[in-house]
Structure 1
């Protein structure tokens, strides 16, 4: 679905079939990735947020990806680079919202029977709760996470000890973009000290309850999705897929979630603290937007934010790995003898320290995915040094999702691509305009099952951009190539909201 808008913001200037620039009055232009059809989906607020972000203090680069839409201060679907400042807005309230993919050895025909898929949905839902506030206490077959283990997890991330206690295969840590995060001074001690302080604060008195959310999806656009892997028939796709551990015609499981209530508490506390300081010190806000508060690197405020972001990111990492371990258990319950391995775990809401234009910088990816090609210095010593790492891009159940790999051209976008399809309808608009029976019948026509009695209107395929056009933008811009398509067989969403 493509929506056109009358422009009141500066026009984008095409520089290629799927690239453009967006000028500002005071800085170098914003880089835009997207075909003409995709660029028409960027509304004025999205474009204005991109301009506000580019002209904010210390920002050297902004990239607008094809899935871009308005977000919190900065657009969702953008990359924002600064060597001197950190910005909470371009990370957002769901710190390290991420994707992970579990490859199973189950042939597709084994789950063709709808009763088998229903049994799998039930077995997974007994282990991985969905819905705001839901945690492991609300399911019978989950993991019990006490306060002590929760503290260790957010300080250490996917350490060998944390993985062992939670029943997570320790080698899965090698399949993570980042299996752990450290504090502002590159130590765990900074995180331990910060956590001690945080747990005495009013907004973190529910810390123990938030730790019980490890191993859960939450609500909104988060999901678990059973897939069938279809690897491309070209030689490169087959070779890269082998390195990734993808298996053609076999079942895989794709997950999307983040740092849950813990991350939200951390981010909300940071926004409140920084906004109060801007107000007290009478510091001008970028474009007058309270959501674009920032902290100069080296300041106490920046150190606190980086520590809080790392704590939330460690929670998200362990959360994903635990979900995958629980999903594997569920498959083993229904299909005895099932084995599985993690393909990759990668974030799309994080700030990472990277080299951009030969300058050490903080790359803020808000709804954007890292895309390092083979030969990138940061991949040395990883399983993906020669191929580039997996890029996991969710589309929608009808059109599938994609596994891609970066090409050399990714350098032009600060080694980043989109994080999915991107919304074309706001949640309220989707609920108001989309037809429930049409949504449900479309999934039924594609033989896609769900744990929801009624699939959420605001998560329907029609609420999102044309996924194939989004992928075409990435390919035509020379950023990445598709390795495999993932075809949905069932979806797990927040059933409590869907059934309201």
Structure 2
């Protein structure tokens, strides 16, 4: 490091080594934590967030930890971190909403098709008739949703977005090619282990038949669907990449954020409880004395069980997103006959994936973080994105917009990962205390952004989140990724229940 670029932050121990990069020493012989964020963003990391990062970095088997600009306190590990281990798996740095994800549907409509407020209101109503919102809500709350019985639900968990599952649900099978992972397998790389695991779990699965009816639905809190207008960047590279992704400049798209719903939550909490009981019984010390940082060494029955349960939840999340997009397209076609659409991409930000890190296999845990693999990365060989890098879908807030980015070679610094969005700067209770409901609603009226909510959820107001432009500046200045398009919201589908993730 050059002495001219070092900036010590005595209040939090972070040492800057660039405009938007820094390290956080952890003491001892551990490799420091990599921190991504400008000085303004680094100031948003509170003491608990940094302590959670240190606890996670110094946990058994962990070789790398990255703190992204959207980082804030989570359960055990911060939301907005990347944790790498070649020897252990950790439920905490995945979270309770297994494979919470983003997806983007590009329609054939031009922006002026959604200028008219009555048209947007009709679209909101048509979508809500098909895709229910809120914790615990499923197909019975949406008269035009797809009906899913228990047998099909089991297939979804085991097969993911297989051709048979897609055809049974009316999902275009080719959309599976536009997924980060269209299907997950068990600990032994087979679907047979998932079928056996599910059979073993069934007696413990509370209301399984009811939970599978949540396919094709949004959860509460920060989950959403947004009708967007796509705006390309001005430089040649961004326009070329955006076009390769299948985006349409000035076109109408639909962005979705949700995960594995009640199924994923039950699988994750069951894993936390089982591992915590083992730690208690065997008197194993917890990293940082945090019960949310339980773990299992790879190859043990406990690790196998976690990887199987994570895969079951991830398969549900994948099909949930694809079904939402099919239902949203159907709603658009009901209101505006003749419209067509295609999936741009589906990408997770709450998952552990086996990847190659420093020339050896390791489990990369991304919690509130999304992968960012650039053009030419070996993992993209044979995919539609081998020559461009894959789309990165980053939600900001409805008023600041969201972004589609593509990774740059510098993403190697962050284990080929970036933040999953803006990140909270106010907790839910703090937002309700600090913000004024009338002002929040008035700001949406002024921006001409409609919603299905009579009052926009105040704990989800834009002011509850970090400055999205500063977050994006951090990613760009650190050399991780470049913006190729901005998404401007025209209406939002939300619910006021507490967040799933």
- TM bucket, shorter chain: over 0.9
**Does the residue aligned with 1:81 lie in a helix, a strand or coil?**
strand
Tell me if 1:102 matches 2:144: no
The alpha-carbon deviation at position 205 of structure 1 amounts to 2.9
Question: 1:14 is matched with which residue?
Answer: 16
1:48 aligns with 2:48: no
The residue that corresponds to 1:57 in the other structure is 60
| TM-score normalised per structure 2 | 0.97
Which consecutive unaligned segments of at least 5 residues does structure 2 have? 1-8
Q: Give the conservation status (yes or no) of the 8 Å contact 2:221–2:497.
A: no
CA contact (8 A) 1:8 1:44 kept: no
Distance 1:191 1:205 in 2: 18
String of CA shifts for 1:214-259, please: whole Å, max 9, x gaps: 0000101000000000011211011101110000001000000000
Is this contact kept in 1: 2:61–2:85, CA < 8 A? yes
Report what 1:376 is aligned to.
Answer: 377
Correspondence list, 1:356-371, <5 A: 356-371=357-372
Shift of 1:200: 1.1
Following TM superposition, the consecutive aligned residue runs of length 4 or more in structure 1 with deviations greater than 6 angstroms are none
* SS of 1:51 mapped into structure 2: helix
**What whole-Å deviation, never above 9, does each CA across 1:387-427 have from its counterpart, x for those lacking one?**
00000000000100000000000000000000000000000
Q: Are 1:198 and 2:201 counterparts?
A: yes
| Secondary structure of the corresponding residue to residue 183 of structure 1 | coil
1:185 to 179, 188, 196: 188
Matched-pair contact (CA < 8 Å) for 2:180–2:345: yes
* Distance across 1 between alignment mates of 2:464 and 2:474: 19
Once residues 414 and 206 of structure 2 are traced to their aligned partners in structure 1, the CA distance between those partners, rounded to angstroms, is 41
Shift of 1:323: 0.1
2:339 maps to which residue? Answer: 338
Q: Among 70, 73, 80, which residue is 1:67 paired with?
A: 70
Q: What SS does the aligned partner of 1:199 have? A: helix
Report if the CA contact (8 A) 2:12-2:47 is conserved. no
What is the deviation of 1:433?
1.1
- CA deviation string 1:264-317 (max 9, x = no partner): 000000000000000000101111110000000000000000000000000000
Separation in 1, partners of 2:106, 2:67 = 31
Distance 1:287 1:320 in 2: 35
- Number of paired residues? 490
Indicate the residue corresponding to 1:231 in structure 2: 232
Residue 471 of structure 2: SS of its match in structure 1?
helix
Pair 1:302 & 2:303 matched: yes
Change (3 A) 1:497 1:184: closer
Q: Which residue of 2 aligns with 1:440?
A: 441
Corresponding residue of 2:5 = none
**Contact 2:221–2:496 (8 Å) recurs in 1:** no
Any residues of structure 2 matched to 1:388-467 within 5 Å, and which? 388-467=389-468
Asked if structure 1 preserves the Cα contact closer than 8 Å seen for 2:401 and 2:488, the reply is yes
1:176 correspondence with 2:152: no
Partner in structure 1 of residue 4 of structure 2: none
Shift of 1:461: 0.2
Residue 3 of structure 1 aligns with which residue? none
Counterpart for residue 145 of structure 2: 142
1:138, CA displacement in angstroms?
1.2
Report the more deviating stretch, 154-163 or 236-245: 236-245
Residues 187 and 307, structure 2, Cα contact 8 Å, conserved in 1: yes
Using the alignment, how far apart are the partners of 1:45 and 1:8 within structure 2? 16
Residue 221, structure 1, aligned to residue 206, structure 2: no
Cα root mean square deviation, aligned: 1.1
